[in-house]
Each structure stands twice: as structure tokens, then as C-alpha cells.
Amino acid sequence: MSSSSQTPSELEALECHFTWVKEFTRSKLLHMKVKLEDIGTDEGNFWLGSIYNMWGLVLYKLDSSEEALQFLNKATETLKRLREEDEGPWLVVNYGNLAWLHHHLGEEAKCQDCLSKVRALKSKFPSPSQDELHPEIYAEKAWTLMKLGKKNKELAADYFQRAFNMQPDMVQWQSSRVISLASAAKHRDTDLSDDLLQEIRTAREQDPENLYVAAVELKERNRKGESVGDEAETLGQKILLQPVSSYSGLKPLLRLHRQQGSLDEAIVLTEEALQQHPNERYLKRCAALCYKWKLFSLGGVRADQRTIERAIQLHEEVIDLYPDTSFAKEIDLADIQAKSSQGRTKANQMYQELLARRDLDSGDKQLLYYSYARYLNFECHDRNKSIRYNMMAAEIPNRSFYGKLSIKALKKICERGRSGMCREIREFLENLPDDDSD
């Protein structure tokens, strides 16, 4: 049997992005592309080689093979430069990606060359045992899984831990582990465990340059009741001096301000960042988020028109800057329009246009129906129609975070017992099938 005919099975056995990331919708790929763009490619980023590797996969899946090859070659150069060596186990994943891409391009000689490089590296830098991967491969696999949704974050944390146990001097792996675990817990109602909080503190001490970890640590200490106001102010000024990136620490720091009820400070911080970098779309996204939080924190109190207008302006800009992934922001804009004295008509129109779309996946539909249910309830005071849309969100299979929120809302209505639809809601909930995502 020729080596060429063995290629598919050998490729399938590789540890690389092409075997880690299998089934992904175009929508999810576009979201991954946006995430990579917002991380940035600052030369000081420890994960720069991994970023380029991920770019290679995403671009190939989005039918940009030549561009994908450029990024994978850039990953090779970057990994060698960052590690200051021409070969090492950190290249195994990269050469595996290149082997896959050359195979897809029909360049079998180049594919075989990359496969031989993988074999040579694995022989020269073997994993500690047959049952384990090399720590460098565990780390890259973990970093990749972190980007593939919250279901993968705990597995990513496990791989980071295995890698770190083997090479405890790689503090960046431990930092990424705690970021992954904290991110996985972001939408839970419970606080982080004391053990995880201690891990975050340790990671901050061992990796003091990682401002994202610093922001997460302050946020969790604040949640525990500690006073961290002065530290937060100092950290904010440090973040403003860093290159713009979704891992600069800005987002968790803004969430800390939200916890503290100091949304005005969050707005001042993002506006200051925008003054320094007026064209950075990620900063506009952060600022838009802060204005949304501000408007929705007021309850029945009407916001001043200037705040509403700034929120609308930022959301419109963000929608234009993120054309492939702006669906959630379009919903936010509709809700913000409703806060304006003349905006109810505009909000109704926007929601009708969103509801008429036929290109939505199940997750988008659950978000839309849940959001529209809240809009009907709180802005239009149409309780029964609101209940109907919560039911529509809840009955969609593969229940998302928002589908679960709709179920929670329906249960709360039943507990209060004031709605004439309580009996119908109870029957609906009793007959609702279990969902694998629950």
C-alpha cells in the first residue's frame, strides 16, 4: 500500500484543528472569525501562534484556502520566533494543520512532507506516556476548545491542567485554565467555589502581566464582598495602556463595575478608551454594552435623551462593524429604541422585521422569542402575547441559555398565579420534552 493511500487515516489520527473542530455551521464559523479578529495579533501575545493556527482552520472552512495557507505559514514562523527555536513539540499541531490543508488542496507531496515533520517531531519530543498527549499539544487543544462555546470550556480547563501539571513553569497555561473556568461559570447563578477563587488568585500572582486574570480576580473578590474600588481604578488605567484586544481585561472589568452599580464609571472608561482609539470596533462594542446596561438598569425611570441617543448611535455603528454577527445587537437596538420617547413605533417595526427573517438557527430564534416576550411584557404590557412567545422559545429543541430563561419566566408566572393562562402554562410545561442541552 502506498503512503499516499494511507494519508486519510493518518490525517484523521492527527492532533490538530482539522480533527478537533468537525461540524460547525457557517454562523458559528463567522462568530469564531469575529472572536479571532477582536483578539488581535499583538506581537506580545503568548498565544499568537495559536491564533494564526485557528485562523487557518476558520478561513479554510469559509472557503478561503489560499488565505488559510498564509495564516498557517505565519503560525509556523511565529511559533519558531516566540520559542526562539526552529523545532519543538509546539509545531506538531501546526504541521498537522498544514498536512490537512495541502491534502484538501490536492498537494499530496506537500501533505506527505508535513506528515513526515509531524512524525519526526513526535519521535524527538515524545509524550510522557502512550495514554497522554505532549503538554504542548494539550495546551493548544485546550486553547482551541475555549473558543468553541461554553460546553467545551470545562474540557479545555481539564486539558490545560494536564499540560500545566507536566510543565508547571508555563504560567500562561494556568492563567488560561482559570479564564476558561470563570467564563464557563459566567451565566450561572452561583458564586465561584473557594477553590477556584484561590486558583484565580494564584494565577494572578504567577502571571502578573495578564490583566484579564487580574480583572476576573477583582470581579470575584467584589462578588464575595471585598472592597476593590481603588484596585479597579488602577487596573482600568493599566488596561488603557495596552493594545486593544478582547483579552485586555476590559470586559471583565466592566462587568465588575456593573456588579458595583457603578455603570457611569464603566461608561467613562469605555469613552476614554474610544478617545484614544476612536476606530476600534471592539471598544465600540464594549461601550454599546455599557450604555445598554445603563438604560436597562433604570427600571421605570426614563433615561435622559442624550444617553439614549448615544446608545442608539453606538449600536448602529456596532451593527455596521459586525455585519455577519450583529443579530443580538439588532435586538438590543430595538429594545433601546423602545426607551426613547418617540421610539416605540421604530421598535415595533424592527421586531417585526427580525421575526420575519428566515435565516435564523435555533439559538437565534430562542434569543429573539425570549427578547420579544420581554418587550411585549415590559414595554407593551401585552402579558398573554408575551407568554406565547416564551412558549415558542421554550419548545425549540437544543435549548439555549435563552430558551431556559423562557422556561424560568413561565414557571415564575405560574408561581405568582395572577395570569389567566396559568393552567395552560402548567400543561405546557408538563408536556415539554426533556432537552439534551439541559
Does residue 13 sit in the same domain as residue 121?
Answer: yes
Q: For 252-268, what is the mean pLDDT?
A: 96
pLDDT single digits (tens) 198-257: 999 999 999 999 999 999 999 999 988 999 999 999 999 999 999 999 999 999 999 999
Does residue 371 sit in the same domain as residue 338?
Answer: no
DSSP symbol at 25:
-
Does residue 323 sit in the same domain as residue 401?
Answer: no
Q: Is residue 352 part of a domain?
A: yes
- Boundary (domain end) residue, out of 315, 332, 359: 359
Output the nine-digit C-alpha cell for 197: 477563587
Neighbours of 36 (CB within 10 A): 19
Does residue 365 sit in the same domain as residue 285?
Answer: no
Q: Is residue 61 part of a domain?
A: yes
Q: Is residue 365 part of a domain?
A: yes
Pseudo-torsion of CA 141, 147, 153, 157, nearest 10°? 40
Q: Is residue 168 part of a domain?
A: no
pLDDT single digits (tens) 66-124: 999 999 999 999 999 999 999 999 999 999 999 999 999 999 999 999 999 999 999 99
3-state helix, strand, coil in the chain (%, to 5): 70, 0, 30
Find how far residue 214's CA is from the centre of its chain: 19
Q: What is the pLDDT of residue 159?
A: 97
Does residue 349 sit in the same domain as residue 275?
Answer: yes
Residues 228-251, buried b or exposed e (16+ Cβ, 10 A)? beebbeebbeebbebebbbbbbbb
Residue 46 has pLDDT above 70, yes or no: yes
Does residue 277 sit in the same domain as residue 366?
Answer: no
Q: Is residue 376 part of a domain?
A: yes
Residue 42 or 282, more confident: 282
Runs of H (alpha helix) within 168-225: 171-184, 194-206, 211-223
Mean of pLDDT over the chain: 93
Closest by CA to 386, choosing from 405, 364, 399, 400, is 405
Residue 349 has pLDDT above 70, yes or no: yes
Neighbours of 198 (CB within 10 A): 12
- Boundary (domain end) residue, out of 78, 109, 126: 126
Rounded CA separation 361/202 (Å): 40
Does residue 39 sit in the same domain as residue 115?
Answer: yes
Residue 128 or 51, more confident: 51
Residue 5 has pLDDT above 50, yes or no: no
Confidence of residue 436 (pLDDT cuts 50, 70, 90): low
Does residue 7 sit in the same domain as residue 121?
Answer: yes
For residue 402, the one-letter residue type is Y
Q: What is the pLDDT of residue 437?
A: 56
Does residue 12 sit in the same domain as residue 104?
Answer: yes
Does residue 342 sit in the same domain as residue 373?
Answer: no
Q: Which domain holds residue 63?
A: 3-126
Residue 275 has pLDDT above 90, yes or no: yes
Domains held by the chain: number: 3
pLDDT single digits (tens) 367-392: 999 999 999 999 999 999 999 999 99
Task: Please return the burial class of 55, using the count of CB atoms within 10 Å of its CB with bins 0-12, 13-18 and 19+.
Answer: buried
The CATH code of the domain that includes 307 is 1.25.40
Q: What is the pLDDT of residue 3?
A: 41
Q: Kindly report whether the global pTM for this prediction surpasses the value 0.85.
A: yes
Tallying the residues shown for the chain, one arrives at 438
Q: Contact 269/281 with Cβ under 8 angstroms?
A: no
The angle that helices 171-184 and 194-206 make with each other, rounded to 10 degrees, is 140
Q: What is the pLDDT of residue 343?
A: 79
Considering the chain, what percentage of its residues have pLDDT values greater than 90? 82
Residue 344 has pLDDT above 90, yes or no: no
Output the nine-digit C-alpha cell for 401: 441559555
Confidence of residue 315 (pLDDT cuts 50, 70, 90): very high
Q: Is residue 434 part of a domain?
A: yes
Does residue 421 sit in the same domain as residue 342?
Answer: no
Q: For 332-354, what is the mean pLDDT?
A: 92
- Boundary (domain end) residue, out of 104, 126, 148: 126
Q: Contact 370/390 with Cβ under 8 angstroms?
A: yes
Rounded CA separation 316/291 (Å): 13
Closest by CA to 55, choosing from 33, 34, 24, 73, is 33
DSSP symbol at 382:
-
Output the nine-digit C-alpha cell for 2: 502506498
- The angle subtended at Cα 322 by Cα 317 and Cα 327, nearest 5°, is 95
Closest by CA to 360, choosing from 328, 336, 316, is 328
Confidence of residue 1 (pLDDT cuts 50, 70, 90): very low
